[in-house]
């Protein structure tokens, strides 16, 4: 049984002295005792469900609880299916990257950004390359300019240890 659904009190679990009772189609039956409300629900072959416990007196609804739970689970599943999680895709560049390789990486970034993901661009410095981090900045700025029409720089290029990182986010469609 799903824990999220179990917070409602049904039938015999309702221990309040007075309840405001409503039917499934919105008809207000008035204020009555829990026993009376439960008796009416049983006569109609339905359940008594406490829908507003904070109200004075608490509001209970006479409905088919199994059907209600099914509808809620269905609605939650549909909402979960329609949401898109943003992933961070990584693109690794090298300091002395060739033009065609550079264009290919730009196209990959474009594809990632168009599908709504963020892109982490990184350059790893090896050996003596560490002596010239400005070359990495040049490559990064070239990459961000190439991606400028479909992305915005979320976090500019920054040297962290032996690697330089930059984050690009997709441009919002207006």
- Domain extent listing, the chain: 11-81, 88-170
Q: Which two tokens stand for residue 67?
A: 């059907």
Multiple choice CATH, 11-81, 3.10.20.80, 3.40.350.10, 3.40.50.720, 3.90.110.10? 3.10.20.80
Q: Does 2 score more than 70 pLDDT?
A: no
Yes or no: domain 88-170 corresponds to CATH 3.30.110.10: yes
Per CATH, 11-81 and 88-170 having the same topology is answered: no
What is the pLDDT at residue 81?
83
Q: Which residue has the higher pLDDT, 42 or 2?
A: 42
% residues pLDDT > 90 (the chain):
40
What is the pLDDT at residue 173?
64
46-56: pLDDT as tens digits? 989 888 888 88
- 12 to 9, 21, 42, 44, 96: CA distances (angstroms): 8, 15, 11, 16, 74
Q: Does 159 score more than 80 pLDDT?
A: yes
67-95: pLDDT as tens digits? 888 988 999 888 888 877 788 999 999 98
Nearest to 44 by CA among 16, 30, 25: 25
């Amino acid at each position: 049984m799903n824990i999220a659904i179990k917070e409602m009190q049904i039938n015999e679990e309702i221990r309040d002295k007075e309840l405001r009772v409503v039917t499934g189609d919105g008809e207000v039956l008035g204020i009555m005792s829990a026993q009376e409300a439960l008796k009416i629900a049983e006569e109609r072959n339905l359940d008594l469900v406490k829908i507003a416990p904070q109200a004075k007196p608490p509001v209970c609804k006479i409905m088919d609880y199994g059907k209600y739970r099914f509808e809620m689970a269905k609605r939650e599943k549909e909402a979960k299916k329609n949401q898109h999680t943003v992933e961070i895709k990584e693109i690794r560049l090298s300091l002395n990257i060739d033009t065609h390789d550079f264009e290919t990486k730009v196209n990959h970034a474009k594809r990632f950004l168009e599908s709504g993901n963020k892109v982490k661009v990184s350059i790893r410095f090896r050996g003596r390359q560490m002596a010239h981090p400005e070359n990495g900045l040049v490559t990064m700025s070239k990459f961000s300019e190439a991606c400028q029409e479909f992305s915005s720089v979320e976090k500019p290029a920054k040297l962290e240890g032996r690697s330089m990182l930059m984050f690009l986010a997709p441009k919002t469609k207006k």
